[in-house]
Amino acid sequence: RSVSAFLLNRSADLAMEQIYTAQEVAEILKLGLVAVRRAIKKGDIEAIKISNEWRVRESALEAYLNKHTYKPGLDSDPEEEA
């Protein structure tokens, strides 16, 4: 498969998916912008840097939320750790 075919298919995949700015992610998660940028730099939220601005694909945001979702019976109770 050629590189141009790969890029064409990849851009079609991305065109179907919502892309958020770091500020929009902060608003969605009800976090501060600094906390979101820190999570991106730490690798907790997968992001793309475009023109000196971070962008987060909807699937990356969903992956972050799934990774940080409390699952009773599978995770320790957060109230017990406090």
Kindly report the average pLDDT of the chain as a whole number.
84
17-27 confidence digits (pLDDT tens) = 899 999 999 99
Structure tokens at 81: 């750790």
pLDDT computed for residue 9 by the predictor: 66
Sheet holding 19-21, edge to edge: 19-21, 53-57, 48-50
Cα–Cα distance for residue pair 46/38, rounded to 1 Å: 11
pLDDT computed for residue 5 by the predictor: 66
pLDDT computed for residue 73 by the predictor: 72
